[in-house]
Structure 1
């Protein structure tokens, strides 16, 4: 795994996971039933971190063809919009919205976001490796 992917894992993925990991720790040390194990807002935060990072990385890297950059930025913007809607639904509350359904949606969406983000950083790492003459 390249240096760029390790930095992505540490600076993007682990930072994005802070709300989820914090909730797990709080859940583990509090009385049963006082804190939910999973919260959709934590997964929304994770997805937003991933897609904002994608946009930033793609915009500041010149070695990628323009069409791919445009497509990836569009995908990230669409996901940010989806996350915004899901986050707004979490603010409405438990009485009107099925929180369990939103939680499942945000978990699935964040897993897809992780895979998209990994593919972005993998492609950039391969391009950098080829430009520098190294092996992938």
Structure 2
């Protein structure tokens, strides 16, 4: 088979490596490089590098596969209702408790779904529940006080 320019360059690279390791003298190296550039077939190139241990330059292989044992565990998906519960719970203050009841409902629904499906977001659901119940309790206290004051004054 006829040698390509890339084949000649690979053979010269092997010769350079052999010369760099001290396996070839300067004169022999120069002769072999000249013969490599004059070679017409791949067989002639193979004879020039046959006594050198390096051989053809290896091609890079595919990246090694990492065993699943050492890969990080995939994070579970966050429950959407848990996110909604947390948002409603946080919005209780600027909305004067208007989002407290939706926070409680979404929080309870999210916690039951999380237990059933194994999704993430239990902390968000609990945040929504706590803030929602505090808002609901606060409004219940305010309404009770208004009722008591209304009855006593009335």
Bucket of the pairwise TM-score, normalised by the shorter protein: 0.3 to 0.5
Structure number with bigger Rg: 2
Greater length-normalized contact order (CA 8 Å, ≥ 6 residues apart): 1
TM-score by length of 1: 0.36
TM-score by length of 2: 0.32
As a proportion of its length, which structure holds more helix?
1
